[in-house]
């Protein structure tokens, strides 16, 4: 799952994409969060594994399992290391990539899981980096008594907490080879819409935006399933639309 800005009638709205390697659904909506996702109607019924970028509204859906996009994590770690000077971030960046390489190598050999020794070694390394990160960046001090609220946490500390408290979601790809390392599929499917926005600038009406999303959902899905766009569109116009399969 992913979402991005979409201009409709000259104002910023939102495009939501839900996809996998076989199917694509685009939805245009004025909202970014749960209201839009509920109205689109897919996530309330979804019971598989949802890969996303830690956008909080996704966690409102509890009928499915979750997984976090490590491509986003790698970008965040580069920022924390290069801009904030945190050495633990470089170590975690390397660790995640080594985990990905180990999984890719095992898949190439036809394996469905890592060996116990390899998995335990990687998990110990991950835990040590989290502990090092906490030591390098302790919890911010509490605000003065006159000020209310919790201590303000910076981007680096929040990222450490995510790697610690959400490690099962960060490392879902390590335990289940069906889980992708990141959300590249969602970003790839959104790229086409970003290109369209650069060319046209805006949709003149909501009707046009929704028609565009419906047509592009159909074309993207057809292409993923080996059908040429012109063939899929010709079939639809002739009353024989392409009917995709989920598997």
Over residues 42-71, the pLDDT tens digits come to 999 999 999 999 999 999 999 999 999 999
In this prediction, residue 234 carries a pLDDT of 94
CA 17 vs CA 14, 41, 67: distances in Å: 10, 12, 16
Question: Does the pLDDT of residue 247 top 80, yes or no?
Answer: no
Question: Lowest mean pLDDT: which of 16-30, 43-57, 191-205?
Answer: 191-205
Q: If DSSP codes are grouped into helix, strand and coil, which group holds residue 34?
A: helix
Burial (Cβ within 10 Å: 0-12, 13-18, ≥19) of residue 28: buried
In this prediction, residue 195 carries a pLDDT of 86
- pLDDT tens, residue by residue, 74-129: 999 999 999 999 999 999 999 999 999 999 999 999 999 999 999 999 999 999 99
Among 16, 2, 21, 1, CA closest to 223: 21
Is residue 42 within 8 A of residue 18, CB to CB? The reply is: yes
Cα pseudo-dihedral 106, 107, 113, 118, rounded to 10? 20
Is residue 65 within 8 A of residue 136, CB to CB? The reply is: no
User: Rounded to two decimals, what is the model's pTM?
Assistant: 0.86
H or E stretch at 192: helix 184-200
């Amino acid at each position: 799952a992913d979402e991005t800005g979409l201009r409709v009638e000259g104002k910023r709205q939102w495009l939501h994409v839900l996809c996998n390697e076989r199917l694509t659904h685009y939805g245009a909506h004025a909202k970014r969060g749960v209201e839009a996702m509920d109205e689109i109607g897919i996530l309330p019924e979804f019971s598989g594994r949802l890969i996303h970028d830690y956008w909080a509204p996704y966690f409102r859906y509890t009928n499915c399992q979750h997984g976090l996009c490590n491509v986003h994590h790698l970008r965040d770690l580069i920022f924390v290391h290069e801009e904030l000077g945190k050495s633990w971030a470089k170590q975690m960046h390397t660790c995640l990539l080594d985990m990905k390489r180990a999984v890719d190598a095992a898949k190439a050999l036809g394996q469905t899981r890592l060996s116990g020794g390899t998995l335990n070694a990687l998990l110990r390394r991950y835990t040590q980096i989290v502990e090092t990160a906490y030591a390098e960046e302790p919890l911010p001090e509490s605000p003065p008594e006159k000020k209310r609220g919790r201590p303000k946490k910076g981007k680096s500390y929040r990222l450490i907490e995510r790697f610690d408290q959400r490690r099962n979601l960060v490392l879902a790809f390590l335990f289940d080879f069906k889980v992708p390392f990141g959300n590249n599929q969602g970003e790839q499917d959104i790229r086409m819409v970003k290109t369209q926005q650069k060319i046209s600038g805006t949709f003149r009406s909501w009707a046009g935006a929704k028609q565009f999303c419906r047509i592009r959902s159909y074309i993207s899905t057809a292409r993923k399933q080996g059908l040429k766009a012109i063939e899929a569109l010709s079939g639809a116009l002739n009353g024989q639309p392409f009917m995709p399969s989920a598997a």
